[in-house]
Amino acid sequence: MKAVQYFSDEYLDQCRKLTTDQILQFLSDFQQLHIEQKSRTTLISIKVPEDLSGAFRTKAELANVPYQTQIKKLMQQWVLE
Protein backbone atom coordinates (compact mmCIF):
# COMPACT_ATOMS: atom_id res chain seq x y z
CA MET A 1 0.00 0.00 0.00
CA LYS A 2 1.38 3.41 -0.96
CA ALA A 3 1.40 6.29 1.49
CA VAL A 4 -0.94 9.20 0.82
CA GLN A 5 0.61 12.64 0.85
CA TYR A 6 -1.46 15.58 2.10
CA PHE A 7 -0.69 19.21 1.23
CA SER A 8 -1.51 22.27 3.27
CA ASP A 9 -3.70 25.02 1.83
CA GLU A 10 -0.71 27.38 1.98
CA TYR A 11 1.43 25.01 -0.07
CA LEU A 12 -1.32 24.57 -2.66
CA ASP A 13 -1.73 28.35 -2.90
CA GLN A 14 2.02 28.69 -3.57
CA CYS A 15 1.81 26.01 -6.26
CA ARG A 16 -1.04 27.83 -8.00
CA LYS A 17 1.17 30.93 -8.30
CA LEU A 18 3.98 29.10 -10.14
CA THR A 19 4.72 30.16 -13.70
CA THR A 20 4.81 27.65 -16.53
CA ASP A 21 8.62 27.87 -16.59
CA GLN A 22 8.82 27.16 -12.86
CA ILE A 23 6.55 24.12 -13.22
CA LEU A 24 8.60 22.81 -16.15
CA GLN A 25 11.82 23.30 -14.17
CA PHE A 26 10.35 21.44 -11.20
CA LEU A 27 9.27 18.54 -13.42
CA SER A 28 12.66 18.41 -15.10
CA ASP A 29 14.46 18.40 -11.74
CA PHE A 30 12.11 15.73 -10.40
CA GLN A 31 12.67 13.56 -13.47
CA GLN A 32 16.43 13.90 -13.15
CA LEU A 33 16.32 12.93 -9.49
CA HIS A 34 14.14 9.95 -10.33
CA ILE A 35 16.51 8.76 -13.04
CA GLU A 36 19.56 9.13 -10.79
CA GLN A 37 18.03 7.34 -7.80
CA LYS A 38 15.90 4.58 -9.32
CA SER A 39 17.95 3.33 -12.24
CA ARG A 40 19.92 0.13 -12.16
CA THR A 41 23.14 0.24 -14.10
CA THR A 42 24.16 -1.81 -17.10
CA LEU A 43 27.58 -2.46 -18.54
CA ILE A 44 28.04 -1.27 -22.13
CA SER A 45 30.84 -1.64 -24.63
CA ILE A 46 31.50 0.93 -27.32
CA LYS A 47 34.25 1.40 -29.86
CA VAL A 48 35.62 4.95 -29.92
CA PRO A 49 38.61 6.26 -31.88
CA GLU A 50 41.71 6.34 -29.66
CA ASP A 51 42.36 10.03 -30.23
CA LEU A 52 38.80 10.94 -29.23
CA SER A 53 38.93 8.68 -26.18
CA GLY A 54 42.29 10.10 -25.13
CA ALA A 55 41.16 13.70 -25.57
CA PHE A 56 37.97 13.01 -23.64
CA ARG A 57 39.82 11.36 -20.75
CA THR A 58 42.35 14.22 -20.62
CA LYS A 59 39.63 16.88 -20.58
CA ALA A 60 37.74 14.98 -17.86
CA GLU A 61 40.94 14.64 -15.83
CA LEU A 62 41.66 18.38 -16.15
CA ALA A 63 38.11 19.07 -14.94
CA ASN A 64 38.70 16.65 -12.05
CA VAL A 65 35.75 14.50 -13.16
CA PRO A 66 35.91 10.74 -13.72
CA TYR A 67 35.53 10.25 -17.46
CA GLN A 68 32.79 7.60 -17.17
CA THR A 69 30.81 9.91 -14.91
CA GLN A 70 31.11 12.63 -17.56
CA ILE A 71 29.90 10.23 -20.27
CA LYS A 72 26.84 9.41 -18.13
CA LYS A 73 26.14 13.12 -17.56
CA LEU A 74 26.30 13.82 -21.30
CA MET A 75 23.98 10.91 -22.04
CA GLN A 76 21.51 12.08 -19.41
CA GLN A 77 21.56 15.68 -20.70
CA TRP A 78 20.86 14.48 -24.23
CA VAL A 79 17.97 12.25 -23.13
CA LEU A 80 16.38 15.05 -21.08
CA GLU A 81 16.50 17.60 -23.92
Give φ, ψ of 16 to 5 degrees: -65, -25
> CA 25, CA 43: separation in Å to the nearest integer?
31
- Rg of the chain over Cα atoms, rounded to whole angstroms, equals 19
Q: How far apart are the first and last CA of the chain?
A: 34
- 11-63 tens-digit pLDDT: 899 989 999 999 998 888 888 777 666 667 889 999 999 999 999 999 999 99
- 22-33 tens-digit pLDDT: 999 888 888 877
For CA atoms 12, 25, 35, 33, the dihedral sign is negative
